[in-house]
Structure 1
């Protein structure tokens, strides 16, 4: 399998195409794997298929990266378990990064094996490495919300004629809000005023300064953080729900997505059983986080993602999930198609081919 190709300089622009929901102040935190014992020994010449399968998942070092925010939250039970030793026979090294530009070079240069990244960035990576990255699963649906301070927005139609504060121009937030507006018969250029800010904090400041009530587009967990600063802020619209309503009659409905899990294609080829074991452990972790939010929030703070108090309030709105196989392909390809229509650079120029979508045998 060919080694990953270095991305062209133009990819730097594409690295901005994220929701921004995962960035918080502070550097990356790392969870180092502990030493574990290897597989039981076997007499020479007695290797069987079962032994070959076990050897693939035993003592394999797996380097995993994720971004601070919802794309990392679903991993925390998995990360916590790995501190006690190997998980399903594999040693894991987890790194939580503050931004995508920390993750991309590690993945491209073979210094990371698996990464949780923005959904559109996965497509950019695939296209710029000639297919050397595959997507394993969707791990986060949409985390974008319309909030207001005047209780004036109760449907997408209510946005007509309004001013919306937002950050993320030229990235997922812009594409998502434009799609929602246009599908509801609202021209983003003529029927609303979107004031683009450089940071989410500027949007919150603009809300606070609006005497008659302001409206903003914000991601989780920043919505929850903002609500702790201004109790007038309420969630008016969930853009994921709005997207779903628009897609419900489509033959293969897409979804508003935030994050996916990708792996290097050569690592997948060399360690198929390790990848399958990783996915099983990841799904288990996601189920734990969604079913035990109070305890999960403590782990989220432990791994320096966001404070526990924020995490516990934000988790119900972070849409953490685990979707693989055919459903993943339908939702992700549809989402990327929407982005392609608005800006082909947002997906790396074209929709990835079928080999972009990893499917486990038997699933």
Structure 2
């Protein structure tokens, strides 16, 4: 009987896959790049990409309908930990807009992940970078306003993907194909149903969140094209991911797409 575990963070998920504690991992694609670059022989290969946008948003203390990234200059932003994807994507966007993350603003990286929304509500920072439901909660409580989507402004980043060790994929192609086929059915459902319908289906998975909030969150992700219509992990997205890692100083040399990505299972599932 298959078992589902939910370790917190890509590093712990990768450890579970590498050690054999888990057969398939769902995590940020950067983890596979790091382990390959470190010299792993039975490295982890991405076989199905799920999301193609970063899922976090910039929240301000007041409505800013004409927000531009340069508006952050001279302000304090509650950010993420150094080397984490949320922070790397944020700093990549800043650099792409001609903003120096070191000198043009102050990024507070001392607050634990998951606590930034509460800190912002208590008066810390001028802006905060939030995942859901933090962004929507701040809006509903009148404590902040979403003024930009990091997912939209960073481009099509392979933010999350399913992966397994090369040996496991080679030895269990039928399992990987069946798993990918099931994922594709989920993607097909998303493509032909409204955010309201999707929210109603997933509501039981979030007992602590009301349906209205779930609908708002799904709508926000839906409108920014967060989910891929198929699960094919394209090279252009892989290259952008490496651009972001290099920009953050977390990658010394490029790793080969053909080693770390296989599209054969997703291509069959999409037929």
One of 157, 164, 168 as aligned partner of 1:256: 157
**Distance (whole Å) between structure 2 residues aligned to residue 277 and residue 308 of structure 1:** 33
Q: Equivalents in 2 of 1:306, 1:270: separation in Å?
A: 40
1:338-359 per-position Cα deviation (integer Å, ceiling 9, x unaligned)? 21232235xxx54332221102
Shift of 1:160: 2.1
Q: Does 1:110 align with 2:23?
A: no
Question: CA distance change for structure 1 residues 124 and 201 in 2, over 3 Å: closer, same or farther?
Answer: closer
- 1:178 corresponds, among 63, 88, 91, to 91
Structure 1 unaligned segments of length 5 or more: list them: 1-32, 34-91, 245-254
- Deviation per CA, 1:253-298, whole angstroms, max 9, x where unpaired? xx23421111121121122233222212101113324525445445
Determine if contact 2:32/2:260 at 8 Å carries over to the other structure.
no
1:275 partnered with 2:188:
no
Deviations 1:194-229 (A, max 9, x none): 122322554334433449x9311112233223334x
TM-score of the two chains, using structure 1 as the length reference: 0.62
Match of 2:167 among 253, 260, 266: 266
- Going from structure 1 to structure 2, the CA distance change for 1:175 and 1:99 (only over 3 Å counts) comes to closer
Q: Does residue 316 of the first structure (1) align with residue 219 of the second (2)?
A: yes
Distance in 2, matches of 1:119 and 1:199, equals: 22
The equivalent residue for 2:37 is: 127
Larger of the two Rg values belongs to structure: 1
Q: Which residue of 1 aligns with 2:243?
A: 337
Distance 1:173 1:103, change over 3 A: closer
In structure 1, what is the equivalent of residue 82 of structure 2?
Answer: 169
Structure 2 unaligned segments of length 5 or more: list them: none
Query: Per-residue displacement from partner, 1:104-149 (whole Å, max 9, x unpaired)?
Result: 3321122322111112112223334225211012212211211112
**Are the counterparts in 1 of residues 58 and 146 from structure 2 also a CA contact under 8 Å?**
yes
Residue 328 of structure 1, CA deviation: 2.1
Secondary structure in 2 matching 1:224: helix
Alpha-carbon distance change, 317 to 115 in structure 1, aligned in 2, over 3 angstroms: farther
Q: Does 1:223 align with 2:135?
A: yes
- Secondary structure (helix, strand or coil) at the match of 1:344 reads coil
User: Contact 1:131/1:356 (CA < 8 Å) preserved in 2?
Assistant: no
Equivalent of residue 190 in structure 1, options 84, 100, 103: 103
- Alpha-carbon distance in structure 2 between the residues aligned to 1:321 and 1:137: 10
Q: How many residues align?
A: 257
Alignment of 1:341-352 (within 5 A): 341-344=247-250, 349-352=252-255
SS at match of 2:215: helix
Seen in structure 2, the aligned counterparts of structure 1 residues 160 and 224 have a Cα distance that, compared at 3 Å, is: same
Looking at secondary structure, tell me which structure has more strand per residue: 1
Q: Residue 116 of structure 2 corresponds to which residue in structure 1?
A: 203
Give RMSD over aligned pairs.
Answer: 2.9
TM-score, length basis structure 2: 0.80
